[in-house]
Structure 1
Amino acid sequence: MSKAPRACVIGWPVEHSRSPAIHGYWLRQYGIDGAYEKEAVPPEDFAAFVSDLSAHGYVGANVTLPHKEAALRAAASADAAAEAIGAANTLWLDANGALQASNTDAYGFMTNLYAGAPRWRETCDVAMVLGAGGAARAVLYGLIEAGVSRILLTNRTVAKAETLAREFGAPVEVLPWESKESALSACGLLVNTTSLGMTGQPPLDIMVEALPQSAVVTDIVYVPLETALLAAARRRGLAAIDGLGMLLHQAVPGFERWFGLRPEVTPDLRAHVVATLGGG
């Protein structure tokens, strides 16, 4: 007696999540008899909830704020990305019912980067990453795995950047926030992982004029899709990649785990999710 697989996204709050729009689209697109739902779970209940996912009727789950670090702690085992990043965003039950964890944010970021600028590595010996939160950890992991030889990490709170630099080691170097523009001329890639420039947040104050003409600029913010940073990069004729692709691509491995089919990120999926963004 096999039942249609069900997965969910767990957060607190969870209403803002776009994951149901992504996975629901794929379930319909591929004619899969399954479901993807939202579960609002407070932090004090999270460990108990995921320790008994099957009792709630789920084969796996996405995990969003504030539960990503707790998700890693709750898992019986985790992949290399989750261990290095220190957080998990994808959970599933293995054949023995043990909880497994992955972090697909680095995969999503890198896949989006290669999709938007397939030859970015050819002109990128030095990258600059703005921010030192959870997203920065995923980006650092992805860039190091891709072989970037020098990564300049800068954050408004320098101690947070220094902590990441110690954890990730070479090639990460900490750069004072006020010195970031002076180092842009050496950078083949600029990544914003902060919330600056997001709808409702202060603007990101950085001048991209010093970047080389071959540089790529990417922003993990996707509300708005066209941030001031990306608009400035496009005015200079630079390759500019928005953050929505990272969100779409990070969803692929989880869907394959839960529903047995590897889905595609297509223009139609992107348009479907953009329609859900509204005013942010």
Structure 2
Amino acid sequence: MSARLIDAHCHLDFDVFDADREDVMSRAAAVGVGHFIVPGTTRRRWPNVERLGRREDVSVCFGLHPYFLDAHDVRDLEALDTQLEAYPDAVAIGECGIDARLSDIDRQWQLFDAQLRLAKQHRLPVVIHCVQANDQVAKRLHQLDLPAGGLIHAFAGSPEQARRFLDAGFVVGIGGASTYERARRLHRAVQSLPDDGYVLETDSPDMPLSGYQGQRNEPSHVHDICHCVAALRDQPHATVAAHSTATAQRLFRLV
């Protein structure tokens, strides 16, 4: 694979892209985004994700997202195991994780722990949604010592929290939040990361960049995120693009 930009986390399977998905992906390609990692969020959406995975420029993951807790049941975990067996090209388990803003934290942890065990069993990286739970999730990841590490998607924590995730064998995802002037703590974290400690992502259609509030986000904006990160790290845009792409390739075992 070339050293073009990779959007390491985008929900191109979502219905909001149904009317213009090809145009969205063409706009991304026009600014140098050559590959897309699309995570699954619910069992119902896995077939849509799998169809996208037939494209050469898309790699996919399957998981059960905490935001959609009411959509999951215990049978979905067995279905996830079966899905991973049936689709060996999956590059990770996810999106899964903990969102402390939401209710039923105990059930979130049960679902998350089960997916972490599957990641260990299948020797796959994990794509983790982690909101207001960085310290707790980092502690759990250190306890498990997962063989393939993973991605802390949409990282918004401190340099110290980033280091704990890196020490657990994970990388952090840097997205639209980094483009906001008020995100000073995140800026310090971005500046502190080693060159192989991050990937760039959009979380499209969510997490719009500064100046795009209220608009649908899309993968072409990873180009703008790269410029922001380059400025924060005092590195050329091409250097940040090359580092983030190489890290995504290593993490997801892209060829």
TM-score (normalizing by structure 1): 0.34
Bigger helix fraction? 2
Rg larger in structure? 1
**More contact order relative to length (CA 8 Å, sep ≥ 6):** 2
When the two structures are superposed, what TM-score results if normalisation uses the length of structure 2?
0.36
